[in-house]
């Protein structure tokens, strides 16, 4: 069936604004003019490795019935985008897309491309003309890339986010949210809401100067009303809006059959065998190599993943695991989570001497010698020894809430036994 769709992207800068806030302001204006959208506004997260993203690479879309005041809706959207976008930031290049019709297979393919890989402005423009969409580019108009994807993205798995916005006089100042009330909200609504808190870290509170006071994420919209009532803001909430979104669905993860298939700036799950003991480098980042018969890749658990690195440090050469994550700027596989498929229960070590001491190598091809009693053996073969492992076969391990990507599906949403 034909509907009217609106897509908006790339209106904010690192110093202010947020496309969701603009969307919420537009919806208020729609309401004043008796324009109704169908369902919730959508917040669609796209490729986390897109070069020009401000923060979470999100685009917005609305769906309207054709009997709504379409021309007025278009006028309002263009007015708000041109007046509220941070146009003086070089990296802010808004794009608005209007589309009347059905969401076609080729549009769905485009949306997945915007999540899986990189699209140019020219390619997006060509695609818009192919599907008969109306585009409005402000400055370079890069936002049309995400706007088309936000309209076209199917949502089989989805979540919701309630965003509460601050009074504009408070922008840039410390946010005032009662910590204990968030703990209470988490206790009463988790796991239907999730990613609320991580120890002392208030995950619902953004750390940037944007208009958002807090964002609460959930599996259903009803629980957000309960959560909203429990959280005590110690500053005025100027506005709020619930979005339907692909956040926390793993929609960015592609299945890779072998390591040689992996491409930079894309996200995957892939199986492999740990080649070496994970090691930490300056800055606190931890790395190890994962291999299969087709090749190998360096996997990283970066400093912000904090205690997750202690789990990664427990991996040993020979462990078979499946990693979820993506390949960024440095060409390393940035791990979001992993599942242990088969732990290596054996370590090959120098033999123990009859006297009870561990023997040492007598030199290449010369076997082992015991420094304690002088005994020698000619064979160079190390012996397998069963080792105690703290990791568990079959179990998933994930990065902490504070370091999690918007698209990453938390284990709590994975229906694991």
- Which residues are at the interface with ligand ATP (CB under 6 A)? 9-10, 12, 18-19, 46-47, 50, 52-58, 93, 114, 118-119, 142-143, 145-146
Q: What are phi and psi of 122, to 5 degrees?
A: -60, -45
When the beta carbons of 143 and 326 are compared against ligand ATP, the nearer one is 143
When the beta carbons of 146 and 215 are compared against ligand ATP, the nearer one is 146
CA dist., res. 181 & res. 170, Å (int): 21
**End-to-end distance of the chain based on CA atoms, in angstroms?**
40
Q: In 20-73, at which residue ranges do the beta strands (DSSP E only) sit?
A: 42-45, 58-64
Whether the Cβ atoms of residue 155 and residue 204 lie closer than 8 Å to each other: no
When the beta carbons of 215 and 325 are compared against ligand ATP, the nearer one is 215
Sign of the alpha-carbon torsion through 410, 225, 57, 62: positive
Q: How many helices (H) and strands (E) does the chain have?
A: 8, 24
Tell me the closest approach of the beta carbon of residue 121 to ligand ATP, in angstroms. Answer: 8
Distance of CA 178 to the CA centre of its chain: 27
Tell me the closest approach of the beta carbon of residue 397 to ligand ATP, in angstroms. Answer: 27
Tell me the closest approach of the beta carbon of residue 47 to ligand ATP, in angstroms. Answer: 4
Tell me the closest approach of the beta carbon of residue 49 to ligand ATP, in angstroms. Answer: 8
Whether the Cβ atoms of residue 27 and residue 20 lie closer than 8 Å to each other: no
CA dist., res. 185 & res. 164, Å (int): 15
Whether the Cβ atoms of residue 133 and residue 99 lie closer than 8 Å to each other: yes
* H/E run at residue 163: strand 159-166
Tell me the closest approach of the beta carbon of residue 319 to ligand ATP, in angstroms. Answer: 33
Which residue in the shown chain puts its C-beta closest to ligand ATP?
146
When the beta carbons of 19 and 189 are compared against ligand ATP, the nearer one is 19
- Look at the chain and count its residues: 417
The one-character DSSP state at 161 is E
Whether the Cβ atoms of residue 59 and residue 9 lie closer than 8 Å to each other: yes
Interior angle at CA 124, CA 120 and CA 129, nearest 5: 150
Tell me the closest approach of the beta carbon of residue 287 to ligand ATP, in angstroms. Answer: 27
Tell me the closest approach of the beta carbon of residue 145 to ligand ATP, in angstroms. Answer: 3
Cβ density class 173-209: b for 16+ within 10 Å, e for less? eebebeeeebeebbeebbeebbbbbeeeebbbbbeee
Tell me the closest approach of the beta carbon of residue 195 to ligand ATP, in angstroms. Answer: 16
When the beta carbons of 44 and 312 are compared against ligand ATP, the nearer one is 44
When the beta carbons of 154 and 384 are compared against ligand ATP, the nearer one is 154
The one-character DSSP state at 20 is H
| Cβ neighbour number for residue 355 with a 10 Å cutoff | 11
From 150, 119, 118, select the one nearest 133 (Cα to Cα): 150
Question: Residue 372 is encoded by which pair of tokens?
Answer: 């304690």
Tell me the closest approach of the beta carbon of residue 9 to ligand ATP, in angstroms. Answer: 5
Provide Rg for the chain, Cα atoms: 26
Question: Residue 223 is encoded by which pair of tokens?
Answer: 């629980």
């Amino acid at each position: 069936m034909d509907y009217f769709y609106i897509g908006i992207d790339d209106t904010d800068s690192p110093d202010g604004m947020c496309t969701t806030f603009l969307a919420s302001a537009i919806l208020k204006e729609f309401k004043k003019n008796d324009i109704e959208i169908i369902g919730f506004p959508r917040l669609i997260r796209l490729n986390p490795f897109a070069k020009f993203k401000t923060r979470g690479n999100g685009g917005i879309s609305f769906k309207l019935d054709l009997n709504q005041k379409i021309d007025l809706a278009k006028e309002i959207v263009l007015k708000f985008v041109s007046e509220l976008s941070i146009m003086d930031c070089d990296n802010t290049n808004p794009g608005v897309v209007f589309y009347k019709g059905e969401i076609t297979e080729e549009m769905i393919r485009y949306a997945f491309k915007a999540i899986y890989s990189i699209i140019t402005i020219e390619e997006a423009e060509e695609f818009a003309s192919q599907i008969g969409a109306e585009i409005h580019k402000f400055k370079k108009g890069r936002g049309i890339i995400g706007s088309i994807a936000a309209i076209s993205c199917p949502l089989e798995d989805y979540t919701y986010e309630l965003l509460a916005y601050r009074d504009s006089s408070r922008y840039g100042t410390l946010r005032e949210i009662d910590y204990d009330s968030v703990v209470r909200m988490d206790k009463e609504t988790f796991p239907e809401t999730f990613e609320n808190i991580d120890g002392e870290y208030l995950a619902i509170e953004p750390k940037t100067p944007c208009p958002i006071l807090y964002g609460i994420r959930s599996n259903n919209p009803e629980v957000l009303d309960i959560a909203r009532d429990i959280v005590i803001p110690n500053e005025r909430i100027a506005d709020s809006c619930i979005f339907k979104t692909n956040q926390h669905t793993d929609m960015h993860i592609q299945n890779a059959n072998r390591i040689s298939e992996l491409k930079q700036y894309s996200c995957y799950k892939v199986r492999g065998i740990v080649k070496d003991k994970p090691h930490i480098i300056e800055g606190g980042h931890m790395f190890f190599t994962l291999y299969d018969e087709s090749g190998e890749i360096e996997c990283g658990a970066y400093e912000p993943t904090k205690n997750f690195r202690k789990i990664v440090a427990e991996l040993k050469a020979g462990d078979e695991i499946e990693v979820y994550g993506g390949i960024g700027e440095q060409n390393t596989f940035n791990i979001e989570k992993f599942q242990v498929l088969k732990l290596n229960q054996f370590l090959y070590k120098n033999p123990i001497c009859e006297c009870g001491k561990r023997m040492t190598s007598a030199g290449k091809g010369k076997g082992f010698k015991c420094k304690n009693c002088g005994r020698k053996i000619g064979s160079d073969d190390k012996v397998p020894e069963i080792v105690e492992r703290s990791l568990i076969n079959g179990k998933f391990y994930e990065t902490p809430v504070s370091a999690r990507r918007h698209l990453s599906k938390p284990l709590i949403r994975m229906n694991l036994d």
